[in-house]
Structure formats: structure tokens, C-alpha cells
Amino acid sequence: MDFNFIEKTQWHRRVNILIYFNKNWNEEYGGYLDLWDKDVKNCVGAFASIFNRACGFATSEISYHGVTPVRCPPGRARKSFAVYYYTKEAPAGWDGVKHSTVFKARPDEWLKGHLLMPAEDTLNSSKQAFRNLKKTVKTMIG
């Protein structure tokens, strides 16, 4: 899971680095790393998943990125290695909020952004509320 902050070590995620291992990758296969503006309205960079390419970017509360759909033939797969660089120092403007990945739908993903992702958020919140209720009841029963 990629977190912006690791509580145990008090480290802040600052940089994402991806390295691709796709020999003879055809760009029509997709799988581009896309970098988006703060509103996830405009793609500001797109990088093909070609062999031995390394891509890195500063991680912040608005460093939205994603992967275009992968459409490679059967028997092929998009292969990459991701690593995160953490520091003790907080990034400029960090608001103190700890979280795992924040997902935002792309402009062409209306159904995902307006229906599927909110439904998933509601389901996850309900599951967490149920776990908390279970824990409270167990404590009360003793």
C-alpha cells in the first residue's frame, strides 16, 4: 500500500520512482504513466512503459498519476518496479493528514467518478463502522 506518511518511523513520502521491464513493448499496448494537474482535468505528461525507462516525480497531495488501460496481447504483461523515497522532513504545505492512496477519476471516467468510486467509499465506510461497532460491543460484553 502506498502511504503519504508512515506513523511508526515518522517518514513522509516524497518521491515515486518507476522502472519498466517491458522488452519490445509496443506503444499501442497502452500502459502509459500519466501525470495529471491538481484538478485531474489535464494530462501534463505521458510516459510509455518501454524497457529500461525510469520515471520519477515528486509526491504531494496533488501529484495525481495513473496508468492508461493496458491492451497487450495474451501472454504479455506490463512489468514495472515501483519504489518510494521517504524523508523525516514533511513536504512543504503538508496539512498533517495521513492517508493511503487518494484516487480520482480521469475526465473520461464519468461512471467511475460519479457512481462507482463513491459507492465503493460508502461501502468501505460502512464496513469500518461495522468493525467499530463490533469492537465496542465486545468491549461492553467483556
Taking the C-alpha atoms of residue 82 and residue 57, their distance in angstroms, rounded to an integer, is: 12
Please report the pLDDT score of residue 108 as a whole number: 78
- Strands 43-47 and 80-87, how do they pair? unpaired
Intervals of the chain under pLDDT 50: none
Taking the C-alpha atoms of residue 47 and residue 36, their distance in angstroms, rounded to an integer, is: 12
- Which amino acid would we find at residue 70? V
Please report the pLDDT score of residue 114 as a whole number: 59
Burial of 4 (0-12, 13-18, 19+ CB in 10 A): buried
Taking the C-alpha atoms of residue 81 and residue 97, their distance in angstroms, rounded to an integer, is: 27
pTM: 0.69
- Which amino acid would we find at residue 45? G
Residue in the structure block whose three cell numbers are 516525480:
57
Helix (H) or strand (E) holding 18: strand 11-20
Residue 129: all three cell numbers together: 463502522
Taking the C-alpha atoms of residue 50 and residue 29, their distance in angstroms, rounded to an integer, is: 11
